[in-house]
Amino acid sequence: MDISKRRLFDENYQQSLLTVTGNMPVVDIIEQMSHAQTSYALVLKQQELVGIFTERDAVRAIANRTLFENITVAEAMTQPVITISKADAEDIAIVLQKFHQHGIRHLPVMDNGELLGIVTQTSVLRVLESIRVNFAFETLQQTIDAKRAVSSLADITARKQTELEIIKSRDLLEVMYNESADAIFLVDAETLITTDCNQRAVELFEASSKAEIINIEGQALQKQQFSSDELSAIVAEINQRRVWSQELQYVTKKNNEFWGNIAVKQITVADQVMNLVRIADISDRKRAEQMLELQAVITRNMAEGICLVRATDGIIVYANLKFEKMFGYDSGELTGQHVSIVNYEDENMTAEEVNQAIRAAVLQQGEATYEVHNVKKDGTPFWCRATTSVFKHPEYGIVLVAVQQDITEHKQAEEKIQRSLKEKEVLLKEIHHRVKNNLGIVSSLLQMQCRRTQDLQVTPILLDSQNRIASIALVHEKLYRSEDLTNINFAQYIPDLVTHLFDSYNIRSSHIKLHFQVEDVGLDIESAIPCGLIVNELISNALKYAFPNKQTGEIIVKLYEDEHHLILIVRDNGVGLPVEFDKKKTKTLGINLIQGLVKQLRGSIEINSQQGTEFKITFKKSRDIP
């Protein structure tokens, strides 16, 4: 007898096969597999087998995708499908070879393109059962009988043939028993004590040897043992139906936990009733189910509102609970509505125009983040920050996935801050205006005193003081007239200041020519006032002393940025400084004032008296000006 030729599938078995189509969501298929107590689903397209979806595919799908709910079977299934012919499916050795060669657990059986059934590791175990373990006992008895007949030379040929058949059968049974991907136990049906197990059981329960997991009560390996009543009910069901299965948690010998699907089949071995127990590791599938449930819980309860909008017609096909509550709708009330129902419209733009603008931006860019003015069911307008992406849904086609968060409070706080800043800006402008006016009053007083004094030595002193005050007042004037209350544009400030000085000393531009090379450099008030006073002193000195006896000439003013420093140059082509001039020893008010202001700017000063006079002042910007 050659037991390798055994039917591993039933030709009518195809009626109970779990078949699906490729466009079905993985979520639904996992649920169907769980209810059907099966580890696979065959994927058909127009009655043609195009793929197979197993527990391993479910785990990979969860690990590789964020929106797990939207994955289709076609995206996650194993393809191409490894199949087996009807003739080969009847040879256990060929089946086991294919399992090992391709690392698979399922083999669809095909005959001339027709799906007849499927061979699984479970069906291989079914053959083991049909053969019955008692066959091993029978063949063992034949071996004993053969040994007793050794003395009979006439039966030697038959004995040899029997021994070869027994060895072949025994080896084949051992391969199927030990090479199974699931743990297999033989359990005494009366005492429920394990009497034997395969090598996979030793590995699955992380035991050092069989001795650790046999000769013990089977449920001792469970995380939670059955009560006496539960155990009695299970035994009664096995005795009545001869089969029983359930999903349980187990604990290995190393205290690691895993989920297993236990299937018990009552068999008879040498006239003794035994339970053939198969335990399949379904931890991956359980994790997939838990991740699926977690994804659903997160989607329902996440802080942001989520909705899916069909791109072709703008219809809302899904909205989570948060989205519905945010807009004041009851559960399911938004589904089937046009998305423009949640967009706020005003005299400038209708709700549909708002929707079309968002839709166009998202479809063009693939994803867009924006702030949108929405409206609740009761008509209350409010602001949301939204991120919308394009996604291909297996059922609805191209959809827009919008994640929205209510930012009304944030917008209100922002508007309050803007109003406060505007008020402070107005106040600061008013302060600069009043300071400028007050300095103007002081300057006018000095001017009146200058006109009334008869002392020729006092007059230029009063005039210099007046110009210095004017340079400071000009800074405040520029600030309150500027949109930027923190910085002064010196490209505008310096020409105005120099023009004032020319008027103050009654100098005509045709007599002394001015040249400006001033970059658009912004200075804050802390730097602008000392820098303005320096320009005031240098130009005043040039106008008073560089061109005696109404001599003509020119004055050049430069201001530019060099890396992180500002360079101020005031140069004239007048008579130059006296030969005996020494900036360290000179004690005039003008020079002392310039040196003090340069020190205040934390800068340095260089004086060149060849072919006129040049003052070069280098200082750092007090802070980065955008």
pLDDT at 419: 77
- Determine the straight-line distance between the first and last CA of the chain, rounded to whole angstroms: 94
Per the structure block, which two tokens stand in for 145?
């009988």
CATH, range 180-287 = 3.30.450.20
Tell me the C-alpha distance between 463 and 443, whole Å: 9
pLDDT at 173: 54
Mean pLDDT of the chain: 80
Q: How confident is the model at residue 178 (pLDDT cuts 50, 70, 90)?
A: low
Strand-strand pairing, 604-608 and 381-393: unpaired
pLDDT at 528: 82
What is 461-528 written as a DSSP string? HHHHHHHHHHHHHHHHHHHHHSS-SS-EEHHHHHHHHHHHHHHHTT--TTTEEEEEEE---EE-HHHH
From the list 107, 128, 286, the residue with the least C-alpha distance to 198 is 128
Q: CA geometry: angle at 413 spanning 431 and 406, to 5°?
A: 160
Do 255 and 26 meet the contact criterion of CB atoms below 8 Å apart? no
Average of per-residue pLDDT across 318-339: 91
Residue-wise pLDDT for 39-77, tens only, equals 888 888 888 888 998 877 776 776 655 455 668 888 888
- Superfamily name and number for 487-624: Histidine kinase-like ATPase, C-terminal domain (3.30.565.10)
Tell me the C-alpha distance between 316 and 373, whole Å: 18
Per the structure block, which two tokens stand in for 466?
């007046």
Tell me the C-alpha distance between 214 and 196, whole Å: 6
Give me the CATH topology for the region 19-130.
Answer: CBS-domain (3.10.580)
Residue-wise pLDDT for 234-264, tens only, equals 999 998 988 899 999 999 999 999 999 999 9
**pTM for the whole structure:** 0.37
Residue 419 amino acid letter: R
Do 546 and 553 meet the contact criterion of CB atoms below 8 Å apart? yes
Per the structure block, which two tokens stand in for 168?
């072949």
Q: Which of 108-122, 188-202, 314-328, 381-395 has the lowest mean pLDDT?
A: 108-122
Whose tokens are 């240098």? That residue is 538
Residue 80: cis peptide before it, omega within 30 degrees of 0:
yes
Answer yes or no: CATH 3.30.450.20 is held by domain 302-452: yes
Cite the residue boundaries of each domain of the chain with CATH code 3.30.450.20: 180-287, 302-452
Average of per-residue pLDDT across 285-311: 74
